[in-house]
Amino acid sequence: MANTIQQAGGGKIELFDDFTGGNEILNAGTVAPPLPVGNGTFFGVGQGLAETDSGAEVQNALNGVYRFTATDEAEHDSGWTTPIMFDVGLMGTITAECRVSFPTSLVTREFFFGFSDVQTDLAILEGAIAHGVTSTFTLTASDICGFWLSSELTANAEWHAIHNGGTTTGVTDTTLLDLDVDAVAAEFDILRLELDSNGTARWYINGALVKTLAGAVSTSVNLCCSGLVEEKVTGSAAADWDYVRIRANRHWDDDNA
């Protein structure tokens, strides 16, 4: 007989960090990723955290803001991740929301917030998840769904939707994925992604629904959620994270519950 008793934790999973303190990553290259960050909900990762000029430091002790900074080398990242732990078909609707900004400028950087099947301690965007140049995405990971920003795109300040692995073929023409909302340096945006159990995805920016796509994401591939900023030249790209919240339905597996 199936175990239907819901004990501690109930039927929901929630991961949240307000980045009010806890584990700062200073002179990160002294210890290789993954590194505990913030209040311990997420792990700091990225090839750009493997150098001593990178890190994750509190910027605002009142509200809680962590600045993740990558080293000043091309294709080096800095950010946070969960383990591969989400199955859209079994745990949807899954929501991921953050409040994020770029402290200095939007140049020489690429950024991703969302879900993928790629989770490595030295994670990189270009060559592992995706890459955007002029008006074309190269979709490297077999499963992706989230927000993208790239200084190498023609629309280099625009938020884009990105997806691959669902029943709807991954779109590589970035002009079809432009969300018509600009990121502005030193100004925060609230990004929210909702993944239904049937694979439909919805993208929200600052509370407004900007895109809905059926079949955007696989309903059977296990995914992680991550937020990464990548330096494209030698500018030590950084992103400021005010908070991150991820919610999912708990999958009651009789073999593991």
Task: Let me know if domain 12-249 sits in CATH 2.60.120.560.
Answer: yes
Q: How many CB atoms lie within 10 A of CB 212?
A: 13
The least confident of 95-99, 184-188, 252-256 is 252-256
Domain ranges of the chain: 12-249
Quote the pTM value: 0.91
Q: Which of 147, 132, 119, 148 is nearest to 221 (CA)?
A: 119
72: exposed, middle or buried (Cβ count in 10 Å: 0-12, 13-18, 19+)? middle
- For the four alpha carbons of 152, 145, 115 and 117, in that order, the dihedral sign comes to negative
How many residues does the structure list for the chain?
Answer: 257
What is the tens place of the pLDDT at every residue in 88-137?
999 989 999 999 999 887 888 899 999 999 987 766 777 788 988 999 99
What is the tens place of the pLDDT at every residue in 197-206?
999 999 999 9
The least confident of 120-134, 162-176, 231-245 is 120-134
